[in-house]
Structure 1
Amino acid sequence: MNTPVSAAAGLATIDAGGVQLADAQLMETMYHDPRTGLRHVERHLRRLARSAAVLGYALRESDVRSRLAQRLSGVGAARVRVRLHRDGGVDVDVFGPPVAPASVSLVLDDEPVDSRDVLLGHKTTLRERYDRRRRRNPGADDVVLVNELGHVTETTIANLAARIDGVWWTPPLSSGCLPGVERSWQLDRGSMRERILTPADVLAAEALAVTSSLKGVLPATLRP
């Protein structure tokens, strides 16, 4: 996909808590395995293209692929972050490999997100809404978000899944969550299904998990 996405085609300015989208970059975070390359890279690039089209960012996929190839030459296991600027500029940041915990401790947050907020469906550098919730809950590894309807959405850095009656369920995108790459892969292979989840559902679930392309599927526990 080498046709530029016009910056005038999307939502050029969206106010996100006082910060203009024009100041933000789109992001994709991936795991690099030196033997097999970037995990789910095609899914990540498709999501980046969708966000660029909706939000009005210029994008040449060939530029992203070229920058990744240059930056990852000779790199071992790593966390890789792609940042797309509004004008189509691409930055690639490389960090040490992620460390996956044995289990992730979660806590429910009491500040609702708005399921109608378009930015909830796109990964950007506008992170204050998530960082604020994590600062309020320093005793947990991550925070479970709930929307204005009382439906669980996701955590601040991952999608959420709950096993109920032997089936793994994850909230639908309409609840106001990111279309996570690992989430989509699990749905496509039939390992998870979608349904609206409430805090009561999550508290009563047989098991919980958080999913991300970076760390895969990790078991989780929710503090009451």
Structure 2
Amino acid sequence: MFSTVAVNGEVRHWETLRLGDFAQGYFFGAGFFTTFRVEAGRPLFLGRHLARLGRSLAAFPTTVHAPPPHVLREDAVRESLRHCLEADAALGVDFTGVGKLAASDGQLLLTFRSSAPDTERLQREGRIIEVAAPGAYRHGDPMPNHKGLSYFRQYSLMADLPLLGNEVGHACELPTANVFFHLGDVLATPPLGAPCLPGIVRELLLEAGHVGDLPVVERDIRITDLVDARACVFTNSAALAVGVTRLFGKALPDSLALAVRVREDVKAMASRVE
């Protein structure tokens, strides 16, 4: 992570932050965060990330001390981001990587990190998923719909990347990504009630309604039905889309081309926003 950060719009250095200013977030996980892609100094879909952050804060008004409304405005965050990039030569105005906004204790903390070193390889070669964790979630539990600072469960599972399921045998998500399956004639993703995070790329694909000629739909997906999957991709804001080349022992060679198409579509959507 880079040393330059911003707190409520003020450019600071990580080393100068005081734990006491983020005590509820640190000790109790009482806060939320969102992670977004930055390309050549431009944050992708920042408005959507802030809207999701705002919905989470509004859902827990007495539990999480929200930052002042003016620092959560998109124009304010863009200005804060620009000031950070200009202030740090290690970042630079053409920075490409990942930004993170964490809201807790009345503070909005903006930090930066480089893209994961294996992102390009994952996009090129895909990833294998061999493990499922049925019962990891409870159907209808609203908490996975919010990206809380208490993120240890997901963090502890990142290396193995199991497909998380609920107690009735439905697929939910991966630890840090939404998941889409080509089943029959549709590209299906689990509904929010499965539950799963309302990811930004997931939201974009559902709004578009299709990837190429393939309709995109929400529906309950039984893990046992994935034997019939023709392709699979997982999505998040950092990597955009990664193909799953083998799922529970079944080769899915079409997943890489599907992931390429998803990334192309998302980047086209991003270019239309600006």
2:53 aligns with 48
TM-score by length of 2: 0.66
Alignment of 1:136-151 (within 5 A): 140=160, 142-151=161-170
2:218 aligns with 194
2:196 is the alignment partner of 1:177:
yes
Deviation above 3 Å: which 4+ runs of structure 1? 19-24, 59-62, 131-134
Percent identical residues: 24
Between Structure 1 and Structure 2, the one with more helix by share is: 2
Bigger Rg, which one? 2
Name the SS of the counterpart of 2:83 in structure 1.
helix
Q: Supply the distance in 2 between the matched residues of 1:20 and 1:76 (Cα, whole angstroms).
A: 28
Tell which deviates more after alignment, 60-69 or 178-187.
60-69
2:151 aligns with 127
1:105 aligns with 128
2:115 maps to a residue whose letter is P
1:45 maps to a residue whose letter is L
Q: Is the 8 A contact 2:115 2:238 kept in 1?
A: no
1:63 aligns with 71
2:247 aligns with 222
Q: Which has the higher contact order (CA 8 A, sep 6+)?
A: 1
Q: Is the 8 A contact 1:108 1:145 kept in 2?
A: yes
2:212 is the alignment partner of 1:212:
no
2:44 aligns with 39
Name the SS of the counterpart of 1:150 in structure 2.
coil
Q: Is the 8 A contact 1:45 1:61 kept in 2?
A: no
Name the SS of the counterpart of 2:188 in structure 1.
strand
Deviation at 1:112, TM superposition (A): 2.6
Task: Show CA shifts across 1:35-93 (max 9, x none).
Answer: 6x1111111011000001002231445314143333233251011111111x3201111
Q: 1:72 aligns with which of 76, 79, 85?
A: 85
1:29 maps to a residue whose letter is T
Q: 1:96 aligns with which of 89, 114, 120?
A: 114
1:71 maps to a residue whose letter is C
Q: Supply the distance in 2 between the matched residues of 1:31 and 1:133 (Cα, whole angstroms).
A: 22
Q: Supply the distance in 2 between the matched residues of 1:212 and 1:31 (Cα, whole angstroms).
A: 9
Deviation at 1:132, TM superposition (A): 4.0
Q: Supply the distance in 2 between the matched residues of 1:47 and 1:222 (Cα, whole angstroms).
A: 30
Deviation at 1:170, TM superposition (A): 0.3
2:33 aligns with 27
Q: Supply the distance in 1 between the matched residues of 2:134 and 2:39 (Cα, whole angstroms).
A: 38
1:155 maps to a residue whose letter is L
Q: Supply the distance in 2 between the matched residues of 1:200 and 1:21 (Cα, whole angstroms).
A: 39
TM-score by length of 1: 0.80
Q: Is the 8 A contact 2:37 2:238 kept in 1?
A: yes
Deviation at 1:216, TM superposition (A): 1.1
Q: How many residues align?
A: 199
1:9 aligns with none
Question: Which structure 2 segments of 5+ residues have no match?
Answer: 1-24, 87-92, 211-215, 250-274
Deviation at 1:126, TM superposition (A): 1.1
Q: Supply the distance in 2 between the matched residues of 1:21 and 1:121 (Cα, whole angstroms).
A: 21
